[in-house]
Amino acid sequence: MKFRTMLMAGVALASAAGFAASAHAADDKTVQMLHWWTSGGEAAALNVLKGDLAKEGFAWKDVPVAGGGGEGAMTALKAMVAAGNPPTASQILGYFAVDYAEAGKLGDITSLATKENWAKVVPTALQKFTTTNGKWDAVPVNIHSVNWVWINKAVLEKIGGTEPKTFDEFIALLDKAKAAGVIPLALGGQPWQEATMFDSVVASTGGIEFYKKAFVDLDESALKSDTMKKSFDNLAKLKAYTDPNFAGRDWNLATAMVIKGDALVQVMGDWAKGEFKAANKEAGKDFLCYRFPGTDGSVIYNTDMFAMFNVPADRKAAQLALADATMSISFQSAFNVVKGSVPARMDVPDTAFDICGKKGIADVKAANADGKFVGSMAQNYAQPPAVAGAYHDVVTKFFHGEIKTSDSAVTELVKAINAAK
Amino acid sequence: MTEITVAPLADVTMPRPRGSVRGRLQDALPKLVLAPSFAAILLFVYGFILWTFYLSFTNSKAFANDHLVGLSNYQKLWTWTFETDPPSGWYTAIINMGLFGGLYVVCCLALGLTLAILLDQKIRGEGFLRPIYLYPLALSFIVTGTAWKLFLDPGIGLEKAVHDLGWTSFSFDWVVNPRMMIYCVAIAGIWASSGFVMALFLAGLRGIDGEILKAAQIDGASGFMMYRRIIIPIMRPVFFSALIILTHLAIKSYDLVLSVTGKNPGGAAELPSTFMYSYTFTRNQMAVGSASAIIMLMAIAAIMVPYLYSELREKSQ
Amino acid sequence: MSFLEIRKLKKRFGALEIIKGVNLTLEKGGFLVLVGPSGCGKSTLLNMIAGLETISEGEISIDGSVVNDLHPSKRDIAMVFQSYALYPNMSVEQNMAFGMEMRGVPKAERDAAVTEVAKTLQLDHLLKRRPGQLSGGQRQRVAMGRALVRKPRVFLFDEPLSNLDAKLRVDLRTEIKRLHQSTHATIVYVTHDQIEAMTLATKIAVLKEGVLQQVGTPYEIYNNPANLFVADFMGSPSMNLMTGKVTRANGHASVLLERVDGAPIELPAPRGADISALTDGRAVIMGIRPEAITDLDGADRHSKGISMVDARVDVVQPAGSDTFVVTKIAGKEVTARMRAETIVQPGQTVPFAFNLDKALLFDPASGARL
Amino acid sequence: MSAADALLAAEPRRDPSRSSMTTRIVIYGLLGFFAIVYLLPLVVMVMTSLKPLDEVTGGNMFALPKEPNFDAWAKAWGTTCVGLTCEGIKGYFWNSIKMVIPAVLISTLLGALNGYVLTKWRFAGHRLVFGLMLFACFIPFQSVIIPMAVILGMLGEWGNFFTDNLGVSLGFGNPTVNLVLVHTVYGLGFTTLFFRNFYEAFPTELVKSAMIDGAGFFQIFRRIMLPNSGPIFIVTVIYQFTNIWNDFLFGATFAAGDQSPMTVAVNNVVNTSTGIIEYNVNMAAAIIAAAPTLFVYVVAGRYFVRGLMAGAVKG
């Protein structure tokens, strides 16, 4: 960073020598928004926000970078921040927000938060990511949870299955499907999908307390425990129910298999519901949403947030307007109905939601109250990206047979996590 | 021809008018013209390499920082280099670079040369065929990768098509088999770049002095011998150009890997470029990413510098 | 003071010395040919005169002023290159006018000059063509025209004819000679072809490895070579060189040439040689040009130094105007130039008339004339 | 043959007809086979783009479209959503054009000048300079993003400074200008390589002659070198055009938003995180994005080979 300092000094000198920097005349009434929500439903939902802001006189400057769960967008964001030219706000996930906050790159919207009393309505666990040292610097848009299974109702009826309540029942159900000649489990074989599924498997196998101990506290004995081994074994069992071509498949293609009835079930976060809706399928009638067997009552969450960057004073008003609009009850409801997730504030009425949405909202409230509301390891909500990346590595290697036994899987997991810490 | 066989330092060394400012300016003009480009390269390439080098000794995570930690990032990579069971991401990246890079470069050269030789046999419709081999280069690696991923997908692509034709035992599932995936990346890469190599070789073939070929024919060289002993050796400079271009494409083939494999399942399609990218940008271990970038550059330098050196030297002698 | 003066000129590339202290002068209107084998430095020397190579040491002056530090374009010279160096993107006309254009000569003037030169060189009908559409000879002419049109102080020719076939070469040689005679231009001309050198030059400079061997008129160079190198280099077929030994008797020196078959040949030392240097038993090289070895009838009747030698004929090469007869003397092939009508057969032993007036003696070690 | 002659007469020639009937059949067979292999992916892409979506997802990808239509193309061009705006990718096409053209021209011209200096105006250390420029081709772009962003950020501050004081930013901080800069810098290695190799074989006597004729450094370049560099210009321009047009990483990182080039927009269409994948629209968008480069290769392919022949390949 040395040369940057030097060059900056040069710039500073140049400006000091010649001209006193004149203040910008008026407030910049644009909201520059970096995000990767480029598909129909999400874009439509964001358009609501855009419209809300337009009513208040703020223009929306769209900066979409699609793909890779925001990988491209995160790179662009890093470049923008490094250039000292951050967007007004950016869609951001989990610990990435913490990183930017700790680096002092985020702004302060505490005044608005206090006024609106967000601390009361946003689940406490989420506030870990939206506040830093008590200061609000990001707003949550939604709460996703990853411990869902999505089932094609017609197929379930055809094979004569019922809702599985435990992991063993789940396996039995998958067996039934297999016997009936249906692909039991639709899976996209990409590291993050496998890891996301493993989140649920661990919570199901060891219970939510075990999950917390292992992934939130990174307790080594838990990571090495037989329960963790059993979780890996359970994951291995699930692999037997996939079709042979699962590797590298995008998650929405897997969802499509369920929608079309080619496959019975997909283990996926509630964003999968958006796919069903886009295919004009109705919750409860065409498809069913259950908690991952053995995890009912717990919510393994991830959340989309808008991080509010440290912008010059003239862009501050627009930023606050964006934050305010994002947190409005109407937007939270409208957006999450489309997105499949549940509102990030718990005082949003569930009237507009379908049965899955209603269940989701209720689950979040209950889990938040019971302390069963935990961040997803796979989605960077339990640990920073380095550890989550190590977790992805081990799970995907195990799932694809590079790591052969659950014994070595737990050893590798501990080793990889320690190396990444 | 020129008299002096010893390489002169300069082809044209102009007299230097002493004293006059104008004269000196004239004298320095060529260097002044080159200077901006060279300065840009120095800053934007070598400056950045230095910066990366510096970062590789820090514990930079999401952002660059100045906290020096010595060689620990390199130590990490060094340990990973020997972790083969299960393979560490870095080990896989190195192995894959060898596999992919080797296959990609060798097959592109072989296929390019073959196509060029075939096309050079006074082919009717050459003007029609040539763009067919050349066009894949016009597509970006992302498009290439996506097309090949679909094309090779056993469920909807080639395998299914062959099954539909009636050959149901046909199996080609490399693109979903983590162990074989890297070969699919190579196939897509070869498809994309071999046409360009073909063009290079075709140009090389067309540039060979006809008299040399006549002489070889009179000497009794048959078609195959003629290519093996005369034509291919003459085209050494073409190999040089092709190799430089292919190597740089192989090193940078980041988009291709991710789009063909679908985000690298099982970590099996890791390449140094994907490794570096993911550590720098998605795993927020910038220092490790930087160290891997430095190692990658040193490896390239170890291979390319002697080669560049000998080729550049030889030519001017 | 001469028009072109080169003083103690040196050229170094790193540690390597290419031109090792050359002194040369050329009067105005003179035609200097730099001749020598490949790698002797003649082109470098020419490039230094042109200003295309820097001078490591020494001086070059044109018309009294030192041009060492002058840019080529400021030296008022023109150069004709071996490859012609015609700009492929320009028509003949544009090629010829380019130098004037660069110097800001008005268009009308340029056109007039081009037209005039084109007429002299019979290029008028080619003016609109591109170099690619011309034959070798035409390109060569354009290259000369391009030089002529500028009316420079000095013309530099760098092997201008070596890319042409034999007949064209002779034609253009004549043309260059004629041009020189009519324009009285000052010309420096580089070639490795000694016939070109002989026919064109008013002054020849023979170079070897960056050292000037001899400077003189074509006649001097041919008949009075300063050393073995010059003697050997100039003339075609080249001079016969036979190793022998001096024998002295009664104040007369003669040269003894050993033969494989038959008795040694004893020939009186040539009259031009420095008798005092010819000590008894000293090894020498006798050089004698083919035209000085003839059949008896063909021998120069005015010469006082004809010696007859019988030798076996190896090869007979009729060349139309003459017949070259090759024999072996002193282990070396010796070529004689006999009249065309001479009838000899290989294997025959015939008398050869040696005109020793034209023979030269050299020191085998230093190569110097004795 | 002198290099000048080669320059003037670079026509393919190959006399011996050294193949019998069977070998001809084998040759044509091989060429035909490879042609099919090379064409297949494009054919599939085109066919997919001409089918309605249900035919794509339901049918065989190698099947001919039942009722081919250009709806997907029209949608990709004019109405598909890129982020929140649903005006297709046409606007980004223009972004790409206005970025690619200056970047290609500047990098090519600089490459030509560099090649000219490195071959005809050599100086001590010219080989080292060239070696350093050549090795620069191998730097992985992923590792330059952050420092590049810092530099571009500073340029942006200059832009603000100029805007404040002069009223115009002079281009500093403009994303398009930034991309032009980035692509120019990282293209220099190759353009210099191409031109150096070409000019290496370019007869130095022409330069000497022009020098004696009184032409200066730039005059020689403009009047002698450039007019005779047609073939290598074509090669370099095609190469640079393809690379810059197809770049995604720099475009997405340094020019995200409404200034982003075509590739980024296409990615935003194709690589959506959720929602129904409209393969037909995606393929149409991909083909549209590739159209300029495809066009260049098909139309100028002949000149490309000819240009390579004229010097780029002479190592």
The closest alpha carbon to B231, from B154, B99, B121, B78, belongs to B121
Q: Is C272:C292 a contact under the CB 8 Å cutoff?
A: no
Q: Are B3 and C41 within 8 A, CB to CB?
A: yes
CA atoms within 13 A on the CB side of A110: 8
**Shortest distance, CA B86 to any CA of chain A (angstroms):** 5
User: Which of A307-311, B13-17, D10-14, D252-256 reaches the highest mean pLDDT?
Assistant: A307-311
Report whether pLDDT(B200) > 60. Answer: yes
Cα gap A346→D183, rounded to integer Å: 49
Report whether pLDDT(D276) > 70. Answer: no
Residues of chain C with pLDDT below 70 are: 1, 260-261
Question: What band does B304 get if pLDDT is binned at 50, 70 and 90?
Answer: confident
Candidates C17, C38, C75, C193: best to mutate against B (most CBs of B within 10 A) is: C38
Contacting partners of chain A (3+ CB pairs under 8 A): B, D
Pick from B133, B252, B301: CB nearest D34: B133
Query: Which of B262-271, D115-124, D252-261 bottoms out in mean pLDDT, i.e. has the lowest?
Result: B262-271
pLDDT of A24 reads: 43
CA dihedral for C344, C346, C350, C355, sign (positive or negative): positive
A interface residues, B as partner, C-beta within 8 Å = 1, 3, 68, 71, 74-75, 78, 82, 95-96, 99-100, 103, 188-192, 194, 243-250, 384-386, 388-389, 393, 396-397, 399-404, 408, 412, 419-420
Report whether pLDDT(D133) > 70. Answer: yes
Sorted by where each starts, the structural domains of chain A and their CATH numbers stand as: 30-143+302-359 (3.40.190.10), 145-301+372-420 (3.40.190.10)
pLDDT of C8 reads: 93
**Shortest distance, CA B24 to any CA of chain C (angstroms):** 12
pLDDT of C236 reads: 81
pLDDT of C58 reads: 92
Question: What band does D103 get if pLDDT is binned at 50, 70 and 90?
Answer: very high
ipTM above 0.85, yes or no: no
- Which is more confidently placed, B278 or C250? B278
B contact residues 21-60, partner C, Cβ 8 Å cutoff: 26
Fold of D2-311: MetI-like fold (1.10.3720)
DSSP collapsed to 3 states, chain C = CCCEEEEEEEEEECCEEEEEEEEEEECCCCEEEEECCCCCCHHHHHHHHHCCCCCCEEEEEECCEECCCCCHHHCCEEEECCCCCCCCCCCHHHHHHHHHHHCCCCHHHHHHHHHHHHHHCCCHHHCCCCHHHCCHHHHHHHHHHHHHCCCCCEEEEECCCCCCCHHHHHHHHHHHHHHHHHHCCEEEEEECCHHHHHHHCCEEEEEECCEEEEEECHHHHHHCCCEHHHHHHCCCCCCEEEEEEEEEECCEEEEEECCCCCCCEEEECCCCCCHHHCCCCCEEEEEECHHHEECCCCCCCCCCCEEEEEEEEEEEEECCCEEEEEEEECCEEEEEEEECCCCCCCCCEEEEEEEHHHCEEECCCCCEEC
Does domain B84-316 fall into CATH 1.10.3720.10? yes
Q: What percent of chain D lies above the pLDDT cut of 90? A: 19
State which residue of chain D sits closest to B286, comparing Cα positions: D143
Flag whether residue D61 sits within 8 Å of chain B, measured between CB atoms.
yes
pLDDT of D6 reads: 33
Residues, chain D, total?
A: 315
Query: Which of A84-98, B254-268, C283-297, D98-112 bottoms out in mean pLDDT, i.e. has the lowest?
Result: B254-268
- Contact list in A for residue B274 (CB cut-off 8 A) is none
What is the DSSP code string of B61-89?
A: -SS----B-TTHHHHHHHHHHT-BTTBPH
Q: Are A38 and D256 within 8 A, CB to CB?
A: no
- Contact list in B for residue A397 (CB cut-off 8 A) is 86-87, 266-267
Q: Are D305 and B203 within 8 A, CB to CB?
A: yes
pLDDT of B282 reads: 84
What are the φ/ψ torsions at residue D101 (nearest 5 degrees)?
A: -60, -55
Query: Which of B200-204, C22-26, C273-277, D69-73 bottoms out in mean pLDDT, i.e. has the lowest?
Result: C273-277
B contact residues 69-98, partner D, Cβ 8 Å cutoff: none
- Contact list in D for residue C150 (CB cut-off 8 A) is 213
Q: Is A334:A316 a contact under the CB 8 Å cutoff?
A: no
pLDDT of A12 reads: 44
D contact residues 57-76, partner A, Cβ 8 Å cutoff: 57
**Shortest distance, CA B97 to any CA of chain C (angstroms):** 44
| Predicted model pTM | 0.84
Torsion of CA A259, A265, A267, A271, to 10 degrees: 20
Pick from B3, B9, B16: CB nearest C43: B3
pLDDT averaged per 10 residues in sequence order, chain A, 421 residues: 46 40 60 84 81 90 80 87 90 90 91 92 91 93 94 94 93 94 91 93 95 94 94 94 87 88 93 84 93 94 93 91 93 88 92 93 93 93 91 91 91 91 78
Flag whether residue D212 sits within 8 Å of chain C, measured between CB atoms.
yes
Q: Is B289:D145 a contact under the CB 8 Å cutoff?
A: no
Question: What band does B249 get if pLDDT is binned at 50, 70 and 90?
Answer: confident
Q: Are D143 and B135 within 8 A, CB to CB?
A: no
Q: Are C51 and B15 within 8 A, CB to CB?
A: yes
Question: What band does D11 get if pLDDT is binned at 50, 70 and 90?
Answer: very low
Cα gap A80→D250, rounded to integer Å: 12
Report whether pLDDT(D13) > 80. Answer: no
pLDDT, one tens digit per residue, over A314-328 is: 889 999 999 999 999
Q: Which residues contact C213 (CB under 8 A, 6 or more apart)?
A: C36, C206, C207, C226, C227, C229, C230
Report whether pLDDT(D152) > 50. Answer: yes
pLDDT of A417 reads: 92
- Contact list in D for residue A37 (CB cut-off 8 A) is 83, 273
Q: Which amino acid is at A152?
A: N
pLDDT of D63 reads: 79
